[in-house]
Structure 1
Amino acid sequence: MATRSYVSCVLCQRANVNRIVWSRNLSAVAKPQSKADFLQGEPHKRHPGVTHLKTLRLPEELLVAARSIIHRSQVTQLPDRALKLTNFLWSRKRAAEDSAVRKKAVSLEKELWKKTMEKGGNFDEQVVADRIKRGVLSELRRTFYHWTPLKYDEELGVVYMAAKMAGGYAAVRRALNEIKKRDPTFAPQSLLDFGSGLGTVAWAAHACWSATLKELVCVDSSGPMNILAERLLKGDDEHAAAHIKHVYFRQFLPVSPKVQFDLVASAYTLSEIASAKEREEAVLVLWRKTASYLLLVENGTKEGHQMLMEARETLLHNQDKTVHDTRPASVFAPCPHEATCPKLALASVVPCNFHQMYMPLYGHNSQMEKFSYLIVTREQRRPLEAEVHWSRLLAPPQARTRHVHCRLCHPDGRLQHLVVTASKHGRDVYRCARSSQWGDRLPLVQDDDNQNDDDTDGEPTSG
C-alpha cells in the first residue's frame, strides 16, 4: 500500500509538472491577441482583418451605359476580340531594356565570331559579318519579348470595355475597400487617376466616398478613351447630366508639382510604360501628387507583381530630387512589412496576387479578377495597427476538422504555412481564421518555436 501510494504521488507530481510546462509552452507559442484587442466588438466573420468583398456588380448606371455604347458601336466579332484582348493583356510582359538587348547582342556576336574563327579557312569577312548580324537579330527576336504600345481608338476602346471594365472595377473597388475599412476617418475630397481609361477608378472611388469627393481628375493620353469615359458618365446621352459630378478629363498630368490630391490611383497603367526608368519617374511624379494614399493595381502575374515591387522599392528607398512634401512613404497594403518581398527570394517566383469575384457585363455567371496591388501612404499608422500584429493571407485558408491551414506573410517579412488551432492560438483567432478569405489579415504574434517557414510556394488553390 505504501509503495502504491508513493508511486501515485510521484505520478501526480509529474502530471502537475507536465501541465505547468505545457501551459507555459502554450502561452509562449500562441500569444493570441485577446478578444478586446482586435475584434472591437465585431463578430468573428466581420473581424477588422476582413477586407474581401462579396461578388461585385457594376453600378447600375455604368452597366446600362456600357451596354448601350456596345450595342450602338456594332463592333464585329466583339466576344472573340474581347477574349483575345483579355488573353493578350494577361500574358503581356515588360519591354526589354535597351541595355539588356545590347549586352545580349554583343555576347552573341562574340560567340558567333569565335565559332567562325575556330573553323578556320579562308572567308570573306564582310559576308561573314553580314551573316552574323542577321543571326544576332534573329536570335534577339526569338529570345526577347516584342513589346509594342497599345493605341486605343474608339473601336478598340469598346473592345476593352467588353473585356476588362467589370474586372478592373472589381479589383480597384476591392483595394479601395481596404483603405475605407482600415482608415474609417479618411474622407478624400480629391482624386487623381493616372491612365484612367474608361474611368472605372472614379466610379469605384465614388462608390466608397460619394459624400466627400469634390474633384476627380482623370488623366489618359488617349482622346478616344476619354470620350468613352465621359459617355459612360452621362449614361450614353450627351445631353444628360453626369452621374458623378466634378469629373475632369485631361490628357496630361497637372503641371505644378505642388498640386496634391488626397487619393492618387493608377490601375493597369505601369505595364503600358516602355522602360523601367520611365516607370520609376512616373511613380515618383504620382507620389509627389499624393497627399494621403497612392494606389497601384496591375495584373496578378509575375510581371505585374514585379513592376509593383519595383515601384515599392522606388518609393521606400529612392531619393526623389523634387520634394515638396517631406512626409515619408510607408506601405499600407498588402505587405504587413517594409522588407524585401519574400516571394522574390523563392527559387520559383510566384506572384503575390489576390482575387475578387464580379459579375461581367453580360451573362449570369460570376467571374474572378486576379490582380496585384500596392497601397502606399503618408499617413501615420492608427494606434490599432501598432498594437496588433496582422499577417496577410496569401492563399485561401483551408479549413479542416478543428484546424485551418493558412499561408501567411508576417510583419517580420517571412512567409509561413501555419496550422491555426483553438488550443494553440486561442478560440477567437481560430474562428477568425475559419471566417477569413484570401487577402484578409489575421491577428497573429510571430514565435520562433511555432514556425514553419515556406521555402517553396505554389499557386493558391481554391480548396
Structure 2
Amino acid sequence: MPSAEASADALRRALSALLDGLPPRQAAGAVERLIANYRGATPTDAPILRDRADVAAYAAYRMPATFEAVRSALEAFAEAVPGWTPGSHVDVGGGTGAATWAVTATWDGVRPVTVLDWAEPALALGRELAAANPALAGTQWQRARIGAALTLGSTDLVTVSYVLNELADTDRAALVDAAAGAAQSVVIVEAGTPAGYARVIEARDRLVSAGFRIAAPCPHSAACPIAPGTDWCHFSARVSRSSLHRQVKGGSLPYEDEKFSYVAATRLPATPSPARVVRRPQIRKGQVLLDLCEPDGRLSRTTVTKRHGDLYRSARDTAWGDPWPPAD
C-alpha cells in the first residue's frame, strides 16, 4: 500500500505552493464568507465557489481534512477486499480532488480517473494541484451538475465525499442509485454529525437494496443497530496542520480531528472486520473498554484485561474505528 503520509505531505506542499501569493487574511475572509453563505442547497445558476480566490481558500480550509477522512474510509475498505485494486475511478462532486489523492494514497498505480463537479474554478484548481501527483496524470476534470440528471459510465470505484449534504432528497437518492448502477464499489463519506450519519445510512440502505454488500465500517450488511435519533456512528481522523492551514482556520494547534461518517459497499467478494470499534476506547487501570459493532448486527461492550495477555496489549493500541480483534 502506498504511504498515506507521503501523499499527505505532497498534498500539503502543493497547497502551500498554490496559496503562496494569497494573503492568509484574505484566505481567512473568503473561508468565513463561504461558511456564512453556505445553505446546503443544490447550486443552480452559480456555484458556491465563485472564483480562484474562493477555491484556493476552500482548498486550504477543507482539502487536508477531506483527504484524511476519505483515506481512512478507503483503508478500511481495502482491508476488506485484499488484493483488489480499482482499475478506474469516478469522483462525484470531487471539486479540487481530495478523494482522488486519497485513492492514490491507498492503491498503487495509475488508472483512468474522472472528477465531476459543477464548480469550474474548483475543477481548474484541482487540475493544477494534481500536477504534483504523478498518479493523477491524465485525470479528466469535467463540469457536471450533480443531481437527478447525472449519468455515470461503468467504473470500478465511485467516491462521493461531503456531497450528499448539498443535495435535495430526490437528488441524493438519484446520485446513490446512479453510483450503484455504474460501479463495482462505492465509498460515501459525510460529516460525522447526526445529520451526516443519517445521510450515510440512507445511502447504505439504497446500496444494500441494490445488491451491494457492506465492506466497512460495518461488520455486517444488516440494518444499523443504532435506534434512529438516539446516537450516530462516526469516526475520527487526525489531520496535521501546516502553518498556513492554521492561519486560514484561525487555530493554534498543529493538528485537528476530523469527525466523519462513511459507508464502503461493493459487489466484490469482501471480508468485513470481525467487529468494529465504534467509540474511543476507554483505557483504565488494568483494563480497556471497547464499544463494538458486532457481525450479528448488535452493539456490545467488551472489557479486555491484563489477564488476556497479548490481546490486552493489542487493546491498549487499538483506536476508534479499528477492527477488533486485530489481525494476526
TM class by shorter chain equals 0.7 to 0.9
Q: Which residue pairs with 1:67 in the alignment?
A: 16
Q: Does 1:354 align with 2:235?
A: yes
Give RMSD over aligned pairs.
Answer: 3.2
Q: Does 1:436 align with 2:318?
A: yes
Q: Does 1:196 align with 2:88?
A: no
> Residue 144 of structure 2: which of 249, 252, 255 is its match?
252
Task: Tell me the distance in 2 between the aligned counterparts of 1:87 and 1:410.
Answer: 40
Contact 1:55 1:358 in 2 (8 A): no
Higher relative contact order by CA 8 Å / sep ≥ 6: 1 or 2? 1
2:58 partner SS: helix
Contact 1:61 1:243 in 2 (8 A): no
Q: Which residue pairs with 1:139 in the alignment?
A: none
Q: Which residue pairs with 2:164 in the alignment?
A: 270
Higher strand share: 2
Task: Tell me the distance in 1 between the aligned counterparts of 2:134 and 2:5.
Answer: 22
Q: 1:335 to 1:369 in 2, by over 3 A?
A: same
Q: Does 1:419 align with 2:303?
A: yes
Q: 1:87 to 1:349 in 2, by over 3 A?
A: farther
Unaligned runs of 5+ in 2: 247-252
1:222-262 residue CA offsets vs partner (Å, 9 max, x unmatched): 11110010111235xxxxx9663121111238999783211
Q: Which residue pairs with 1:182 in the alignment?
A: 80
Contact 1:299 1:370 in 2 (8 A): yes
Q: Which residue pairs with 1:335 in the alignment?
A: 218
Task: Tell me the distance in 2 between the aligned counterparts of 1:308 and 1:273.
Answer: 13
Q: Does 1:231 align with 2:114?
A: no
2:20 partner SS: helix
Task: Tell me the distance in 1 between the aligned counterparts of 2:118 and 2:145.
Answer: 10
Shift of residue 308 of structure 1?
A: 0.5
Aligned residue pairs total 311
Q: Which residue pairs with 2:259 in the alignment?
A: 370
Contact 1:264 1:294 in 2 (8 A): yes
Q: 1:160 to 1:408 in 2, by over 3 A?
A: same
Task: Tell me the distance in 2 between the aligned counterparts of 1:370 and 1:256.
Answer: 28
Unaligned runs of 5+ in 1: 1-53, 96-147, 236-240, 320-327, 445-463
1:383-441 residue CA offsets vs partner (Å, 9 max, x unmatched): xx5xxx71211111112233211111112222222222355xx4443333222110012
TM-score, normalising length: structure 1: 0.61
Task: Tell me the distance in 1 between the aligned counterparts of 2:137 and 2:207.
Answer: 32
Task: Tell me the distance in 1 between the aligned counterparts of 2:212 and 2:60.
Answer: 36
Q: Which residue pairs with 1:402 in the alignment?
A: 286
Shift of residue 349 of structure 1?
A: 2.7
Identity %: 28
Contact 1:78 1:159 in 2 (8 A): yes
Q: Which residue pairs with 1:172 in the alignment?
A: 70
TM-score, normalising length: structure 2: 0.83
Q: Which residue pairs with 1:131 in the alignment?
A: none
Task: Tell me the distance in 1 between the aligned counterparts of 2:188 and 2:286.
Answer: 38
Whichever residue aligns with residue 273 of structure 1, its letter is L
Shift of residue 176 of structure 1?
A: 1.2
**Which one has a bigger Cα radius of gyration?**
1
Task: Tell me the distance in 1 between the aligned counterparts of 2:18 and 2:172.
Answer: 33
